[in-house]
Amino acid sequence: MMKTIGLLGGECTGKTTLAKALCDRLDAVLVPEYLREFVVSMGRVPTAREQEAIMETQVAAEATALAGIGPQTLVVCDPAALMTAIYSMAYFNDRSLLEPATLHAKTYGTLIWCGTDIPWEPDGDQRDGPEYRAQVDALIGEVVRESLEPAGIVVHRIDGPVSDRLLAVLQLLEQ
């Protein structure tokens, strides 16, 4: 059975650290964040009009990874494409990507929401700070309550150090 894990969380919530730990532990395939690649290659953050293409590129990268694996291989999406819709809400007050992102979220076997209880650390040019991380975390909570849960999509919030988060995800996968 094909399994995908989509990671949610604001900046500096340990998504990439958890993704790498999962890949190391489970010999999984990582789908990295296209937004990060965009910022590096373009030398700037995206505009509102570029958000849809960024989300579509993330979704396409996930599909490519899934197409190239065996049935027992795990794919870790860092982050889930849904984060582009959430960033659009936060940066541009634009909810237009939320419906297609919610539909796509149904394709993940497991959705993990990384909590904000770890220290914020700057990580590159596109980082906004701990206050913004809290704002994005609140938006994730809103999306979970108002869009994902009504659509029957379960999201697991995890907190604590990376070792605790890794153990929590491994336990979820065993269920």
Which CATH number fits the domain that encloses residue 32? 3.40.50.300
| Section 58-70 average pLDDT | 91
**pLDDT for 123:** 67
**pLDDT for 73:** 84
| Section 49-76 average pLDDT | 92
What is the rounded average pLDDT for all residues in the chain? 92
| Section 75-81 average pLDDT | 96
Query: Going edge to edge, which strands form the sheet with 29-31?
Result: 29-31, 74-77, 3-8, 110-114, 155-158
| Section 57-69 average pLDDT | 92
Say if residue 127's pLDDT is above 70: no
Task: Please report, as a single letter, which amino acid is at residue 30.
Answer: L
Say if residue 140's pLDDT is above 70: yes
Size (the chain), residues: 175
User: Given CA atoms 122, 138, 81, 49 in this order, what sign does their dihedral have?
Assistant: negative
Q: Strand pairing of 29-31 and 3-8? A: unpaired
Q: Residues 82, 87, 88, CA angle at the centre, nearest 5°?
A: 95
**pLDDT for 128:** 73
**pLDDT for 119:** 87
Q: Which domain holds residue 169?
A: 3-174
Confidence of residue 89 (pLDDT cuts 50, 70, 90): very high
Count of structural domains, the chain: 1
Judged by DSSP in three states, 139 sits in: helix
Of the listed ranges 17-31, 79-93, 97-111, 125-139, the one predicted with least confidence: 125-139
Any idea of the CA torsion for 158, 161, 164, 166, to the nearest 10 degrees? 80
| Section 80-98 average pLDDT | 96
Q: Residues 130, 133, 137, CA angle at the centre, nearest 5°?
A: 140
| Section 104-132 average pLDDT | 84
Confidence of residue 1 (pLDDT cuts 50, 70, 90): very low
How far apart, in whole angstroms, are the C-alpha atoms of residue 94 and residue 45? 16
**pLDDT for 124:** 62
pTM score, whole prediction: 0.93
| Section 127-154 average pLDDT | 91
Confidence of residue 2 (pLDDT cuts 50, 70, 90): low
